[in-house]
Structure 1
Amino acid sequence: MAGHSKWANIRHRKGRQDAKRSKIWSKCSRAIIVAAKNGGGDPAMNLTLRYAIDEAKAANMPKDTIQKAIDKGSGDGEGASYEEIRYEGYGPAGVAVMLDLLTDNRNRTASEVRYLFEKYNGNLGATGCVSYMFEQKGEIFLEKSKIDEEALMDLALEAGAEDIADEGEAWHITTAPSDYTAVRDALEAADLEIDSATLAMVPDNHVAVEGNDVQKVLTFIEMIEDHDDVQKLHHNAEIDDEAMAALDG
C-alpha cells in the first residue's frame, strides 16, 4: 500500500482520541461491561471480554477502571441493558461504512445515526448492503524500530499470521480471526510493545478519496465515531499519506 498506508490513518485517529480520552474510556467501559455480563468476568474464558480489555489497554485506560467495569458486568447489580447492533451504509464520496454499536435505545440511536449520514451526504442502508464487501481479520501494528523483518517473519508466521506488510514506519500484521490471539500472545511473549491490535472488518477493495473529499470523509468519520453508542467504525476509504500528513501538519 505504498502511498496510502493504514498506519498513517491510525496515527491520525490516535491523535484525535488523545483529545477525547474520557469519551473513549466510557465506550471501552461499556464494551467490557456488556462482554462480562454476556460471557463472565474471566478473560481467559471469554474472548470477547479479552478483546474489550485489549482495546481499553490500547486506549491507556487505568487498570482499576478496567477492573471496575469487569466487576460491574459480572456482578448482579442492575444497570442499563445494552443491545449490540450493526448499521451499514455509504458515506461521502461513495465510501462503504459499517458501524458496530451498543445502545440502550435502538430507536433513538437509529434516528441519530441516520441524521449524521444524511448531514454528510451519506445514506444509511439496509442490513447487508455493504457487509459483503468486508472480511473479518486480525490486524496488528508494530513500529519498525522494535524488530527487523526477518525476526518478525519468523515469530509472527510461526504463530499463524497470514501476512506481514511494510507500511513505512510500521509493520502491518494480518491474521485470520481464529489466529489473532495466538499471534498477539507470541509478540507480547517476545517483549514487543504492540502499537495497535484489533479484530477489524477489512474491505476487499478500497475507494480512493482525493481532493476536497478527503476532509469531508474524515469529518464524517470523526462525527460518527464521536457518537456515544458507536463502538467501531469500519470503512473502505483510502486516503493518500500526503493528504493525511497535510491535515495533521
Structure 2
Amino acid sequence: MYFISDNKIIENKEFLLNEDESFHIKKVLRAKLDDKIKVFDFNKVWLCEIVDFKNRNVLLKPIEIVQKAKRKYKIKLYFPFIDRKLFEYVIKKSIEIGCDDLFPLITEFTQKHNIFDLNDKKDRIDELIKSAMKQSESTAVLKINNSVYLKDILKEDKKFIIFTAEKINQRIYNIYDALKKIKGEDINIVTGPEGGFSEGEKKEFKENFIPVKISYNILRAETAAISALSIINGILIENENIL
C-alpha cells in the first residue's frame, strides 16, 4: 500500500503529507521516525523516510523512485449505469484490475432511476478512486468521463470490443482475435446493460464493433465488466505485442 501526495514530489526536497494521510500513518500504521513508506504523487511512486511529526502532518524526505506510472496501452471501459452501489463497485475494481477511462453508458434498456449526476457524487467518487489506488498500488489514475449514449458511439469509426452473449451480424470472436483486430489503437470495451441490448441497437452495430463471448452463461452487468477487464489485462501482461 502507498500513500498519496497532493503535490509533486521533488528529489531531495522534504515535504508535508496532508492531514488525512498523516493521520493514517500516525494512528493506524503507528509509524515511527526513520520508518520508510511509499508515496504516489500521481506521476511516480517514491520511497520516503519519515523525518518528523509536525502537529497533524508528517514530514517526509524522498529517497528514491520505486515505480514510474506507465502503461503501454490505454483501456477504456464503456459501462452502463446500474444500481449506484454496484456502479461504484465497478469503479473500484476497474482501478484494481487496470483501466484508464470509464464512460458511463446510456442504452435503450438503461433504467432511468439508475442514472445519476456524476458531479453530484464527485467527492465520494474521488475518495473511492484514491482508496482503490492506494490499496492496489495502481499508478493509472482512472478518469471518470461524462456519460455517453450508445446511439452516439455507434456513429464513431474507432474499434470497440463488445462483450456479448450472442452473435452480432453473424459474428463472434475469441478475445485474442479481437485484440489483434485493434492493433495500434486504444482498447475500447463495451459491456451491455441489465437486459442486454435492444434489437434496434443490435442492428446498428457496424464492423468496427467486435463481438466477444467470454462465458456460456449470461453475466450480470458488473460481472461482465470486471471479467472483461481481468481477461484483457491478463493477456496483455504476458503478450503486450499482440497490440
Using structure 2 for the length normalisation, give the TM-score.
0.24
TM superposition score normalised by structure 1: 0.24
* Greater radius of gyration (CA): 2
Does 1 or 2 have the higher relative contact order (CA < 8 Å, sep 6+)?
Answer: 1
